[in-house]
Structure 1
Amino acid sequence: MNLRYFLACLLIVLIWAGSFIFIRIGLNEFLPITLAFLRFAAASIFLSLFYLFFNQPGKSKKLNLKTNFLKLNILALTGVSLLYIFQFYSLKFISATIGSIMINSTTIFMALLSAAFLNEKLNKRKVLGILIAFIGVSILVSNGWRNIEFYSNQFLGGTLMLGAALCWAIYSVVSKKVLQFNSSLTITLVAFLLGTVHLFPMAFILENPIKTIFNASKIGWLSVFYLAFLSSALAYFLWNEILMKSELTKVGAILYIIPIPTMIFEYFLLKEPITKVTLIGAFLVITGVYLTESA
């Protein structure tokens, strides 16, 4: 990975670390599906502007919406609507730090899916990494194996975040196939637009968000702006650009750095304590992900 893509990865890490904090802030004022809808409705506008300025039509094949309809809807479901419904509901029950650690299991899912669908090898080192990461995840979900209750907030939040991680892994595998013939900007924009369409009826039928939208404070709208412009439009654009040039498992490895700045941001901004269980779980998950990525 050259310097340009390394710096892009570093920027993505910082943006997505901050996003966990802004999600927690946004959830104080908006219900989860409403926040997801506002995020991607605004992100679609921002990304449309990116498309006008940065799209290079001659460098990629014209996207055939009819041929790619199923794949594009899978991208929209797994990379937008389902992913963020799982993630936003999860962060109502667990801390931003634990959420950022749990999302690291994306790399494990990526390794398994890449072996199944992209012919990337799954060797003994990767299997060991998967097992170690699984132990770390189980510690976080069960609060150090002291709270193995299927209806506890910790277990529910952790399980939802695992669902989000699986969604992101599916998104990355499918997008890598679609990106072979189309520009990352085009694919991301279409996924955002379709995802917004998916979220709209869910938000208005299940949450009736009109009152909360009109009563939201400046800090609530600031969280929407951060999540829409930085965490969605800019970060997704950079993510897909990197995916086009790098092996999927190696790109997924950047996610295991996210808990470090998230932990720092949450400690100073939200005054969340850093517990021994969190540190042990984080160490095991990050170690497992590293072994999987470096195999």
Structure 2
Amino acid sequence: MENNRTRGILILIFIMLVWGSSYAITKSIVATVPPMFLAFIRFFIALLCLLPVYVRHRRKQKDLLTLPDYVRLVFMGLTGVTGYYILFNYSLLYTAAAVGALIQGFIPIGIALFGIIFLGEKVSRRQIVGIIISFVGVTLVGLITNDAGRETNTILGNLLMLASVLCWIAYTLLSRKSNHLDSITTTFLGGCAGTLLLLPAAAYEYAYLDAPIRMEIYDWMAVVYFGAISSALCYLLYNQALKTLPAAMVGNFLNLDILVGVIIAVLFLHETITTWQVVGGVLILSGLFLSSKGTHTA
């Protein structure tokens, strides 16, 4: 059991390092590659990578999925693929990558809060205080703008990022409710559902473009990285980690994603964040510290 826990933690650290790079990379290409088209091609590549793994797996595993399983997988695709990445990509058209990363700091607290409500995970008074503090922090980060001269509507971008956070919380809780299924099945079939739901949105967006999409080699490298590593591999590992660790603990590690995202955005995109946004980030992390106390593996 302890070895599984340690392995799960190491997996989560790797995932957060990869996902932490997504803010800056998405910000750098989203003006060239339209948001919904980017989300679709990313997951199309991811499914191509996962297909041989899934086919090989299904030859060994003959377990049958029930109707509730299929319904849950469709909603996992809707929240963790379609909804999350449309909102995530569009938000980075309007707000800074560093600010978007800070707003994602609400995910761990949201997972803990909704895990309490829907999964029956236990909570202490200290954890409740931590959730409240983090909520205040997210409010400061999300509603205070810092580069109105460069971004067209920063508050809109922040609200879209917050909506993507809610989608990811739902995806995580649905994945936890699917613990009886293996991670390859949930990742591939959930990804298929989400990608199919993305197709009409991406087609509509492509049909009404003002000019053809012209992707440079960097854009293609970014899309392949997103599809093969950030999506196919990391989604698989994320769902695997959720089988050995409780939702609240998995959520806690998402703050490493935030830290990496902010550092990369500041160093490579030369972004700045306001003093109040720094205060909000500190509150988010402080709330996380409080809420993580007393969290035990299931």
Q: What is the TM-score with the length of structure 1 in the denominator? A: 0.89
Q: What's the counterpart of residue 29 of structure 1?
A: 32
One-letter code aligned to 1:42: I
Secondary structure of residue in 1 paired with 2:54: helix
> Within 5 A, what are the aligned runs for 1:95-134?
95-134=96-135
Cα displacement string for residues 22-75 of structure 1 (whole angstroms, at most 9, x for unaligned residues): 11122021111111111111111112233356x3765x6624264422211110
Amino acid at match of 1:25: S
1:89-133 Cα shifts (integer Å, max 9, x gaps) = 111122112111211211222122212221112331121111111
- What is the match of residue 250 of structure 1? 249
| 1:156 is aligned to 2:159 | no
Q: CA RMSD in A?
A: 2.3
Q: Distance in 2 between matches of 1:192 and 1:239?
A: 13
Of 104-113 and 162-171, more deviation after overlay is shown by 104-113
2:261 and 2:130 mapped to 1: Cα distance?
23
Distance 2:52 2:27 in 1: 28
SS in 2 for 1:121: coil
- Is contact 1:91-1:157 (8 Å) kept? yes
Counterpart of 1:47 in structure 2: which amino acid? L
SS at match of 2:207: coil
Q: Distance in 1 between matches of 2:98 and 2:211?
A: 27
The residue number in structure 2 matching 1:5 is: 8
Cα 1:167/1:231, change in 2 over 3 Å: same
Query: How far 1:274 moved relative to its partner?
Result: 4.3
CA contact (8 A) 2:84 2:164 kept: yes
Q: 1:163 to 1:61 in 2, by over 3 A?
A: farther
Contact 2:47–2:191 at 8 Å: present in 1 too? yes
3-state SS in 2 of match to 1:286? helix
Task: Show the counterpart of 2:74.
Answer: 73
Q: Where does structure 2 lack aligned partners over 5 or more consecutive residues?
A: none
Contact 1:185 1:237 in 2 (8 A): yes
Q: 2: CA distance between counterparts of 1:122 and 1:30?
A: 43
Deviation at 1:18, TM superposition (A): 0.7
Match of 1:188 in 2: 187
User: Is residue 34–residue 209 contact of structure 1 (8 Å, CA) maintained in 2?
Assistant: no
| Conservation of the 8 A alpha-carbon contact between 1:144 and 1:277 | no
In structure 2, do the counterparts of structure 1 residues 65 and 269 end up closer, same or farther at CA, with 3 Å as the change threshold?
Answer: farther
The Cα shift of 1:173 comes to 0.9
Q: Which residue matches 1:284?
A: 283
Residues 1:166 and 2:169 are matched in the alignment:
no
- What secondary structure is seen at the aligned counterpart in 1 of 2:93? coil
Relative to structure 1, is the Cα distance of residues 209 and 229 closer, same or farther in structure 2, using a 3 angstrom cutoff? Answer: farther
How far 1:144 moved relative to its partner? 7.4
Q: TM-score, normalised by structure 2?
A: 0.88
